[in-house]
Amino acid sequence: MPNMTGRTLVLLVALFAALAGCSGDGTSHGTAMGDIEVRLTDAPIDISTVESVNVTLTGVIVYPGDTSDPFDDMNEPPPIHLLTLTGGVTELLASGEVPVGPYSRIRLEVSDATLVYKDGTSAPLKLEPNKVDVPIRFDVVDAGMNTVTLDFDAAASVKVNETASDKLILRPVVTPIY
């Protein structure tokens, strides 16, 4: 019996040591965190009959520069009216808290897109593909807000598929602004 009590004591000490290492709130106290916001802008569009290009995004995901898992816990983006984002105007796309360090890309997940003409009619845009990866290297530091700005080029993104009765397609063209 003395061996059983010794083993039980060793197991209890190991259990308490493991529990002491847990914070209880799911965060790691050894990892510094920094705030990030991803903003969006658009170069001017030259489609003279178009009133707006509206895009709905369902996700903004940032990928660390190393092999760590991506971070997609940022708030859900609002619907974006791309043609209002010209001349240096930007709109907050998403924000959140991510670990400090280098990042290598941002993924935008698109769920819906519509083109609205000046005469009030609209046309759905077929999504090809429904996500776009933007290769951009940036560092998140823990002092202040870290801002990354992307240019979603509406004019370059909207295509007419000539083989399928003038079907409009959205192939997102997004580039980083440094």
Mapping DSSP onto H, E and C, the string for 152-167 reads ECHHHHEEEECCCCCE
Helix (H) or strand (E) holding 10: helix 2-20
Contact 150, 38 (CB under 8 A): yes
Which whole number is the average pLDDT over 93-117? 93
Which one has a higher pLDDT value, 45 or 120? 120
Q: Is pLDDT larger for residue 163 or for residue 82?
A: 82
Q: pLDDT-derived band of residue 6, with 50, 70 and 90 as boundaries?
A: very low
- Let me know: does 50 contact 116? Beta carbons within 8 Å: yes
Q: What are phi and psi of 10, to 5 degrees?
A: -65, -45
pLDDT digits (tens, 9 = 90+) for 8-56: 333 333 323 333 344 444 444 568 899 999 988 875 544 678 899 999 9
Q: Compute the average pLDDT of residues 106-135.
A: 91
Model confidence pTM above 0.85: no
Better pLDDT: 9 or 136? 136
78-98 mean pLDDT: 91
